Amino acid sequence: MIGTPAMLDAIPNKDGADIAFDVLPLLVGRMRAHPIREFLLDIGTLENYELAQKTWPGIHSLNDDRFSNESRT
């Protein structure tokens, strides 16, 4: 997804803002789509997140201990 200033302005200032419920409905009629022919995996569920971890095992979170400052020294 490519963010624009209008999209960022649509994000409510609240804890737990959800793009599907809080943002996208406000942008109906002002959005565009582009077909994606490559593999795409939505990691919005625990099951798909775990599948992504298995599919791409070399990609880790920035919060992963292996990437902390302590492990680089």
Decide if pLDDT at 66 tops 70: no
pLDDT confidence band for 72 (50 / 70 / 90): very low
Tell me the pLDDT tens digit for each residue of 15-46: 988 988 998 898 888 888 888 888 888 888 99
Amino acid at 53: Q
DSSP state of 68: S
The answer to whether the beta carbons of residues 10 and 26 sit under 8 Å apart is yes
**Quick one: tokens of 35?**
């077909």
Share above pLDDT 70 across residues of the chain, in percent, rounded to a whole number = 77
Q: pTM (2 decimals)?
A: 0.47
Per domain, the residue ranges of the chain are 5-72
